[in-house]
Amino acid sequence: MAPHDMSLSWIAGLYASVRARTEALAAPLSAEDQTIQSMADASPTKWHRAHTTWFFETFVLVPHLAGYRLFDEQYGYLFNSYYEAVGPRHPRPSRGVLSRPGVAEIADYRAHVDRAMAELLESAADPALAELVLLGLHHEQQHQELLLTDIKHAFGASPISPVFLPPAPPAPPEALAPMGWIEVETGIHVVGHDGKGFSFDNEGPAHEVLLQGFAIADRPVSNGEFMAFIEDDGYKRPELWLSDGWAAAQTHQWEAPGYWRRPTSDGGGAGWSIYTLNGLCTIRPDEPVCHVSYYEAAAYAEWAGRRLPTEFEWEAAARLMGSDAAVEYPELQTHPRPLRPGFHQDVWEWTASAYSPYPGYRPLEGALGEYNGKFMINQMVLRGRSCATPPGHERLTYRNFFAPPARWQFSGFRLAGE
């Protein structure tokens, strides 16, 4: 989503497109839907819409548009996420108590900022402004994905299985080809972003790594394959689990991936079902297993006699497979599609790599330097993309990261071995 010679007019068009997609994603949701917060890690839809607007107001308009007036001085406290340098903020776990401002006021806020941004991009003379706005647009795309995962978590907790969007006609089931293996020889590989086009600061700098020879699966693990793990008492065998993972599984009483629902006890159900943003569906064995934690991925790998790849192995193999450019999808999806070989699937893929800085890493200057670097602790890296990743947002070098127990994201995994 970034040509090498960006112009402010190109940025203005992109700005309008990205902002419109956020509103389109929120459109099926009522005011009540947009206010709910189902857990501390999730945020209300209304908050996502306001926070991304606050980002442009705070980091672009206030310093760069002469005479700009804040829409509401209280919004800086309400919609700051974690930028300590900017000032105090409302506690994250309590975002769901903010019944006001309402969705209409948030719409007015977005319109106010959008008008000012249009004025700025039309009159600005500094081409460097394009880089800052582009960062803000990628930030909003991240929140578009979070908007879907967060409302799915809220809807998934409801006993009536709300439908976000009606399901499309399902593709006919296809026989899933056996998992293939890609062999990568011992050698030095270049990983990380080369600085051409947009990237977040945590993706670089590009550097060399020495990798021992390994094999990596040509696709992620499927629902059908994970079902065999469940049926072999995978959730009941502590020898398969990391200590922290076993503790998490026991504490949260995991017995299957997130959103899976057991057949009815009276035998009325034909098998497991899954809650999706399109409602309750029968689980398809040819789709990637999704909404699993790092701990579940690692336990499955142990059960299968394999392991998870490091993020460097993942990237090196993806480059060898010819996946060094983003695959453009016409639109984001609300549920993963059936599997196919390759590295651009519909689930983020857990890796065995802890989220840490690359050699020579330097965060951005100022408050924006808080964007990635300060989270480089107690997180694991995921690679690839998901069905909810907006078009133009994915890159081969993209480093997503979550804590090991997290499962509300569209997260799956692929296997590796020697």
Cα gap 213→39, rounded to integer Å: 42
Q: Count other Cβ atoms within 10 Å, centred on residue 200.
A: 18
What confidence score (pLDDT) does residue 324 get? 47
What confidence score (pLDDT) does residue 203 get? 96
Question: Do the Cβ atoms of 360 and 205 come closer than 8 Å?
Answer: yes
What confidence score (pLDDT) does residue 5 get? 61
- Residues paired with residue 184 on neighbouring β-strands, in sequence order: 214
SS (H, E, C) 240-302: HCCHHHHHHHHHHCCCCCCCEECCCCCCCCCCCEEEECCEEEECCCCCECCCCCHHHHHHHHH
What confidence score (pLDDT) does residue 325 get? 45
Cα gap 61→69, rounded to integer Å: 9
Beta strands 411-412 and 348-354 are parallel
Token pair in block for residue 290: 């999704």
Peptide bond preceding 205: is omega within 30 degrees of 0, i.e. cis? yes
pLDDT in tens, the chain (418 residues): 655 567 889 999 999 999 999 999 999 999 999 999 999 999 999 999 999 999 999 999 999 999 999 999 999 999 999 898 899 999 999 999 999 999 999 999 999 999 999 999 998 878 789 999 999 999 999 999 999 999 999 999 999 999 999 988 877 777 898 999 999 999 999 999 999 999 999 999 999 999 999 999 999 999 999 999 999 999 999 999 999 999 999 999 999 999 999 876 554 446 899 999 999 999 999 999 999 999 999 999 999 999 999 999 999 999 998 764 445 566 778 999 999 888 888 999 999 999 999 999 998 888 888 778 888 999 999 999 999 999 889 999 999 999 999 999 999 999 999 9
Please identify which residue in the block is written with the tokens 């795309």.
141
